[in-house]
Amino acid sequence: AQTVTQSQPEMSVQEAETVTLSCTYDTSESDYYLFWYKQPPSRQMILVIRQEAYKQQNATENRFSVNFQKAAKSFSLKISDSQLGDAAMYFCALTGANSKLTFGKGITLSVRP
Amino acid sequence: DTGVSQDPRHKITKRGQNVTFRCDPISEHNRLYWYRQTLGQGPEFLTYFQNEAQLEKSRLLSDRFSAERPKGSFSTLEIQRTEQGDSAMYLCASSPIRQGWQETQYFGPGTRLLVL
């Protein structure tokens, strides 16, 4: 069975500052993929960033980057230069050969102007 | 807009009634997934299709739930004899297939169900 744990229910960041959202996971598979999804209030879920487990290099997408620590089964998301539009619920998710996503409980990020 | 669409966006029903939701995936995507999300929680997998074949069903999907994808395009999710515990957001996602590679799933806006 796969599990994803997001232990921080809420975080807050000042606009233009950097914030890191934590995620740990467990899987018995050797090939798997990790994702961060963003779900703004009353809006649909969109992909922020993905990481293939076989890649050692951490994924980056503009202001978003991950710190993937495979041995520790840790997958944190760093948001640089935070913007008001970054306020949302963020979900860490994992998938393996069975294709279904396993999500964490999510973290609510608020951005202070 | 060629994203995943879902209909209706909101549904209020009385306990014991049947409801049906529709999902239209991105046109070239072979895989279609259903998830359920309750308030303050992450989505939970319900079932998925590859073309018209239903490949996996979660134990969360009781006998009152049935999903179809008859022509490998749109899908329907039906809940019979609804219960208050069925109140949730029902999310649909789709993805293409690439051999040996896990494609990203793209989500629709969801159908929010309230059972009174």
Q: Which of A50, A99, A105 sits opposite B31 (nearest CB)?
A: A99
Q: Tell me which chain B residue has its CA closest to the CA of residue A35.
A: B104
Long-range contacts of B60-69 (CB under 8 A, 24+ apart): B60/B36, B67/B34, B69/B32
Q: Say if the Cβ atoms of B108 and A93 lie within 8 Å.
A: no
Q: Say if the Cβ atoms of B104 and A47 lie within 8 Å.
A: yes
Tell me the pLDDT tens digit for each residue of B70-94: 988 999 999 999 999 999 999 999 9
Q: Which of A11-20, A98-107, B26-35, B93-102 has the lowest mean pLDDT?
A: B93-102
**Residue A25 touches chain B, beta carbons under 8 Å:** no
Tell me the pLDDT tens digit for each residue of A69-83: 999 999 999 999 999
Which residue has better confidence, B31 or B103? B31
**Residue B107 touches chain A, beta carbons under 8 Å:** yes
How distant is the Cα of B67 from the closest Cα of chain A, in angstroms? 16
Q: Which of A33, A44, A103 sits opposite B110 (nearest CB)?
A: A44
Say how far apart CA B69 and CA B23 lie, in whole Å.
9
Tell me the pLDDT tens digit for each residue of B58-70: 988 889 999 999 9
Say how far apart CA A66 and CA A81 lie, in whole Å.
15
| DSSP type of residue A16 | T
